[in-house]
Amino acid sequence: MANQTVDIVSDSLKALVDDKDFLPELTGEGRNKAFSSLLSILSTPDHVNKSYLRIALEDGQVVRIPSFRVQHNNVLGPYKGGIRFHETVNEDEVVNLASLMTLKNALHEVPFGGGKGGVVINPRDYNEKDLYVICKKYVQYFSDILGPDKDIPAPDVGTGEREMDWMMAEYKSIRPGESYLGSFTGKSVVNGGSLGRREATGKGVYFTFRYLLHDFVCDKENWLAERDNIFAKTALSLKEKPLKLAIQGFGNVGSVAALSAYQCNHLNNKVVAVSDRNVTLYNSDGLDIPSLVKFVSLNKGDLPISDEQLNQAEIKATILNREEILMLDVDVLFLAALENQIHQENMMSIKAEIIVEGANAPVTTEADDYLSEKGIIIIPDILANAGGVIVSYLEWLQGRETQFYSEEEVFEKLYDKMKETFNSVLPQFFGDPFPLRQNCYIHAVMKLSIILYRQGKLY
């Protein structure tokens, strides 16, 4: 996965090197050397920190658990990125995700760099006390490189506000008398977290789709109709159509996106399918999302897996295999699970005309190229799932100022920030025959390149 960053940065710089309006001060051989420097800097991390956590489990066993904290680039501000608890975590994955955080923050003009953490465990295999010890040990092992002005972790797959509360408390105990509220974001509200942080990523994911198909397309309908652009044709064909939505993943991101769709009165859409690690649930008339959210909250995060459970919850749905959600005949597919979900083996079976990446890197490069050539609009992770880091920034600010926003203010600021980004990339996307992902990467690399040049980092 780490090579993906090299390709992203290389392709973006190739698109910029011949644009004489971009960094016009750089000319001739000096320009070539500067762009070579940019490729070297942006395609490699600043630091890869790895440790084996020594954990004494409650059952008396001592285990050594691999853990990582990768710091990719901090030219825009402190490193920022989640800590993932998952059995598939590996160094290449964490490096890749850290680099994508750098690009995401640059795209949305959030003053953070890119970082990422990971612990190689399945949290379901450990009890609460053991997870508490793992969180404490993680902070102890990496405390020298963490801090409100150095590197600020947040939740990711397998972690949430509970883990961030534990980690912040340990950071505070290790560094008494120092500022600590901004050391971790995604905390519970009573521990200095921000209202709306848990829902931020999911709400941002749905808002990205809604803004594109409702606000932008409605406002630019005549202009889009004049474009000789395959993606404009896709968007216009869906504008007035009743939309069927499928959502892969029903955790913090997927469930919030599903509920946002269920409650939306701007678009004629209904969620006909959702899935998790066990099952896909399908109802062509639309699923009862509030009842599913309630069921999941009472059943350790899992969707109903039997007709008996569906009947008890008074939910009407057909039970399908979990992978079937990707191939259903729907208009829009939200991917809110893990990476590499759509790939070379299943990409030809995709029927959705819009794919929204709520997870990080859920569509492989080969699948992205194939689907884009067919005119399928892919709203990439770098654009769609930035709600979490944007509200993390707001939480970080609130911790420094010890003044807190209402939930309404948080979401208003989130949507305003995302609108700014949409309006900088969508006109070019529908104006040029380039996928939206490429447009986003180019914008992010432009921002980083300018700052690196102004700071004298290219010599």
Q: Active-site residues: which are they?
A: 116
Judge whether 225 and 172 are in contact, CB under 8 Å. no
Query: SS3 helix, strand, coil % of the chain, rounded to 5?
Result: 50, 15, 35
Q: Pick from 104, 96, 79, 81: which is nearest to 44 by CA?
A: 96
Cα–Cα dist 371/354, whole Å: 10
Could you give the CA distance from residue 185 to residue 215 in angstroms, rounded to a whole number? 31
- Residue 214, CA distances (Å) to 153, 331, 427 in order: 34, 15, 15
Burial classification of residue 426, based on how many CB atoms lie within 10 Å of its CB (0-12 exposed, 13-18 middle, 19 or more buried): buried
Tokens describing residue 327: 């191939």
The CA-based diameter of the chain, rounded to the nearest angstrom, is 71
> What is the helix (H) or strand (E) element at residue 346, kind and residue range?
none
Phi, psi for 432 (deg, rounded to 5): -115, 155
Strands of the sheet with 243-248, listed across from one edge: 318-320, 280-282, 269-275, 243-248, 332-335, 354-357, 377-379
What values do phi and psi take at 204, rounded to 5?
A: -65, -40
What whole-number distance in Å separates Cα of residue 448 and Cα of residue 100? 13
CA distance 224 to 145: 48
What is the distance between the alpha carbons of residues 440 and 271, in angstroms, rounded to a whole number? Answer: 28
Give the integer Cα–Cα distance in Å for 257 and 247.
8
Tell me the C-alpha distance between 131 and 55, whole Å. 10
Backbone angles phi, psi at 63, to 5 degrees: -125, 155
C-alpha 128 chain-centroid distance: 26
Write down how long the chain is: 459
Place of tokens 């947040």: 154
DSSP state of 61: -
Residue bearing tokens 């993390």: 392
Give the CA-trace dihedral at 437, 87, 324, 288, to 10 degrees: -90
Residue 199 tokens read as: 């829902």
